[in-house]
Amino acid sequence: MTRARHFQINYCFKKTRQMFIQPDSHMSDDDAWYYACLHAGVGLLYGEHHDQQNHLQLRAHAEKSDLTHVTWEELP
């Protein structure tokens, strides 16, 4: 059985710092950008391929929406 893990994700959206806790079994930079987009509501548009597997397109979409500086850390 996999133990529950929690990650703190920080980002800047429209020049305002944001933070939230995301439970998951693992985390990567790509995952953190994906979750930050969802949390900020920048819209992963239907029919477009902004998913965890297409990191460059996702990040470009996020930055056009003024979402930047995504960082994460695992909580104890």
Over residues 46-59, mean pLDDT: 66
Strand 16-24, strand 5-13: pairing: antiparallel
Length of the chain: 76
SS3 sequence, the chain? CCCCEEEEEEEEECCEEEEEEEEECCCCHHHHHHHHHHHHCCCCCCCCCCCCCCHHHHHHHHHHCCEEEEEEEECC
Annotated domain spans of the chain: 5-74
Tens digits of residue pLDDT in 14-50: 999 999 999 999 999 999 999 999 999 997 654 555 4
